[in-house]
Amino acid sequence: MRLLRQPGIIVSGLVILLSVVVMLWPSLFATHDPYESIALDRLQGPSGAHFFGTDHLGRDLYSRVVYGAFLSLAAAGAAVLVGVIVGAVVGLLSGFIGGRFDFVVMRFVDVLIAVPSILLALIVVASLGFGPWSVALGVGLGATGSFTRIMRSQVVRVRNEEYVEAARTLGVRWPSIVFTHILPNSARPVIAYAALELGSAILAVSALSFLGFGAQPPEPEWGALVSAGRDFVSTAWWLSVIPGFVILVIVLAVNRIARAIGENR
């Protein structure tokens, strides 16, 4: 309840809630067809008719930003989900089994973390083909090393607790020990880190789309919208500035909530 007294937390929560609603039901918020081109309306500035202006093909930028929420946020969420699932499973097995298996896994994780995540994502996209879901998979795999380390450290700590030793002494089978005692008491730091990683994933997905590896035209993904407007910065600043500002606001909101979760876990 103490968190609800902080204006920053409340505003950030409302921003995230609105983003999720827009992502799930974009038709409720869009004012135009995001794919409809009207030549006479090209490169119009923000106005009552077009809240965010129009692009070089006469498409309503506000509606394209609204519909782009699904591709941008869903891809980022999928990336974090991949990182959490793969990293948590590998970290759980590594920390619980220990020995040579743990040594080999952690050396591989060291190598994985040493490779820039954006480079790993580019390798995955180049292998699977362009698209938001290839980008999501690449970004998610790039984050698995950090999730593995966090999960493994928690499992190593929990497996030496007295209640785990007591369960082993009583002859409880190891699957029951893992899912009843170790996993529930190791997952909270991973969840907190996942919330923080979501902001980074949104930026990474948008960056790769900006470079042309994500959603392809005419799909209205946020990073692709920023990229499409860079050729018109001097004459139509809104094409890049407004989608970029939307990305900034949502990432800041996500990071604010994530920090609050981390401080109160």
pLDDT value at residue 201: 92
Q: Which domain holds residue 229?
A: 62-242
pLDDT value at residue 175: 73
Q: What are the Cα distances from residue 248, in Å, to 82, 105, 251, 252? A: 23, 36, 5, 6
Task: Name the helix (H) or strand (E) containing 109.
Answer: helix 99-114
The C-alpha atoms of residue 146 and residue 159 are separated, in whole angstroms, by 20
The C-alpha atoms of residue 38 and residue 54 are separated, in whole angstroms, by 9
pLDDT value at residue 225: 92
In a domain, 26, yes or no: no
pLDDT value at residue 2: 59
In a domain, 90, yes or no: yes
Q: Residue 152 maps to which CATH number?
A: 1.10.3720.10
The C-alpha atoms of residue 52 and residue 54 are separated, in whole angstroms, by 7
pLDDT value at residue 1: 52
The C-alpha atoms of residue 210 and residue 230 are separated, in whole angstroms, by 10
Show the 3-state SS of 44-71: CCCCCCCCCCECCCCCEHHHHHHHHHHH
For residue 60, what are the β-bridge partners? Answer: 54
In a domain, 31, yes or no: no
pLDDT value at residue 6: 73
- Tally of domains in the chain: 1
pLDDT value at residue 4: 58
In a domain, 16, yes or no: no
In a domain, 253, yes or no: no
In a domain, 234, yes or no: yes
Buried b (16+ CB within 10 A) or exposed e, 75-103: bbbbbbebbbebbbebbbbbbbeeeeebe
- Residue 148, SS3? helix
Token digits for 231?
């050729």
pLDDT value at residue 65: 94
- 3-state helix, strand, coil split of the chain in percent (to 5) is 75, 0, 25
Q: How far is CA 134 from the centre of its chain?
A: 14
Residue 254 near residue 198 (C-beta atoms within 8 A): yes
Q: Name which of 246, 131, 149, 132 is nearest 197 in CA terms.
A: 149
Amino acid at site 21: V
Mean pLDDT, consecutive 10-residue segments, the chain of 265 residues?
68 90 92 88 88 90 93 92 91 86 88 83 84 88 89 84 72 74 80 86 91 85 90 88 94 87 64
Token digits for 30?
């869009």
Token pair 């949104």 is found at 202
Residue 13 near residue 261 (C-beta atoms within 8 A): no
In a domain, 162, yes or no: yes
pLDDT value at residue 85: 92
Cis peptide before 184, with omega less than 30 degrees from 0? Answer: no
In a domain, 40, yes or no: no
Residues near 3 by Cβ (< 8 Å), separated by ≥ 6?
A: 9, 260, 264
pLDDT value at residue 86: 92
